[in-house]
Every structure is written in structure tokens, then in C-alpha cells.
Amino acid sequence: MLYVWIALGVLTTSWVLWNLSLDVLWQPTDRRTVRRMLFLAGVKDGETVVDLGCGDGRFVVSAAREFGARGVGVEIDPLRVLWGRLWIRLSGLRGSAEIRRGDMYRADVSQADVVVLFLSPTANLKLQDRLKREMKPGSRVISYYHPIWGWTPEEVGEGVAGYPLYLYRMGCDETVAGDPRAGATL
Ligand SMILES: C[S@@+](CC[C@H](N)C(=O)[O-])C[C@H]1O[C@@H](n2cnc3c(N)ncnc32)[C@H](O)[C@@H]1O
């Protein structure tokens, strides 16, 4: 029995240390802000919403259940992937929502109508070139709390706790004209 406890202790410690090595730790967005963000992003029936670093998949579930969209989450932590997949299954959304285990820095965003970010300044900075290059014209990026350096938001909303929501529209010169590194600190 002692060995089981030791193994559990080692596994838990490794998991916590590994999580601390990521650019972003898990912190879920509250449900009302999730809805507010999807609403601000103008998510419509049949659109594809991709949440990079999706945690337990709450954006994916809400996009599919409440907005009629296809929800795709990308998450690196296997435990949260499992939890999110279970939630999708229990919600009966397997046809319209999915969670992919993987690295968001390599995720395919070319099919996304909306990309959701609740990350960190570092992660946003690492992602923005790919978003600019790969997302289609007219698609949107909505970021909770952290702006994207050098980009001009089309709109700035507010989450229920008063933190900002930044909406960007792709393929629009004013959005991404700035130097992404200007003013950025890593
Ligand atoms: C602040 S949480 C946001 C979770 C969810 N989007 C929400 O708003 O409730 C950030 C998530 O990003 C995940 N993450 C961090 N680095 C990642 C990476 N390289 N690839 C995929 N997911 C990552 C973390 O495990 C965590 O679940």
C-alpha cells in the first residue's frame, strides 16, 4: 500500500511541476463571461470556434450547445482533455464538439471562424504570427484579459468580473498593421 501512495505522490508532483513549466496555467473563465465572449465574437450557427488551451472545454461546450457552432478545443494537459471529453459525451455533443490533445502552438486554425484565447502575454505573442498568417479573412479572435500586442481591436468588451475582452477581425489591415513586438515584454 505504501508503494501506491508513493507512486501517487510522484505522479501528482510531476504533474504539478509539468504544469508549472507551461506558458499558461489553468484558470477557467466563468460561464457568464464565456457566453459574453462568444456573443461579442458574433458566433453564428454552423461556424467553427477553436479554443486554444481549452482547459475543461467550457467554450467548446457552450459554442456547440448555445450557439449552434462546431466547437474544437486544443489542450495539452491529458487530465483536462479527459475531463472535457467526458463533459462533451455527457452533454450529448459528440457530433458538434471535440477536444484534441496537443500543443496549441501547432494547432490548425485555418478552418476557424473564431479563435478564443485566455492565455498570457507570452502565449499571445508566440501565437499571433500564425493567427495572422493562417486565419481566413473575416474570421475573429477574441481574447480574454490579455490584448494582442500591436493589433487594434475592433471592439473591447468587459467580462463579468470587469476584465477586458478584446475582439480582433482578421484580414483587416487596421487590425494587424502594428509591429507585434512593439511594447511587448516577455
Ligand atoms: C487560462 S487556461 C484557459 C482555459 C479555458 N480556455 C478557459 O478559458 O476556461 C489555459 C489553458 O491552456 C492550456 N495550455 C497551456 N499551454 C498549452 C499548450 N502549449 N498547448 C495547449 N494547451 C496549453 C493549459 O493547460 C490551460 O488549461
Alpha carbons 36 and 134: distance in angstroms, whole number: 25
Residue 112 has a pLDDT of 98
Look at residue 185 in the predicted model and tell me its pLDDT.
45
CB of 55 closer than 6 A to ligand 1? yes
**CA 129 – ligand 1 centroid, Å:** 19
Catalogue the E-assigned strands of 79-183. Answer: 97-101, 114-117, 140-144, 155-158, 164-169
Q: How far is the C-alpha of 56 from the C-alpha of 158, rounded, in Å?
A: 22
Q: Is the distance from the beta carbon of residue 23 to the nearest atom of ligand 1 less than 6 Å?
A: yes
Domain spanning 24-176 has what CATH number? 3.40.50.150
Tens-digit pLDDT string for the chain (186 aa): 889 999 999 999 999 898 888 999 999 999 999 999 999 999 999 999 999 999 999 999 999 999 999 999 999 999 999 999 999 999 999 999 999 999 999 999 999 999 999 999 999 999 999 999 999 999 999 999 999 999 999 999 999 999 999 999 998 766 776 555 554 444
Q: How many residues does the chain have?
A: 186
Burial 9-26 (b: 16+ CB within 10 A, else e): eeeeeeeeeeeeeebbee
Q: Are 137 and 171 contacting, i.e. CB atoms less than 8 angstroms apart?
A: yes
Taking the domains of the chain in order of start, what are their residue ranges? 24-176
- Write down the pTM of the prediction: 0.92
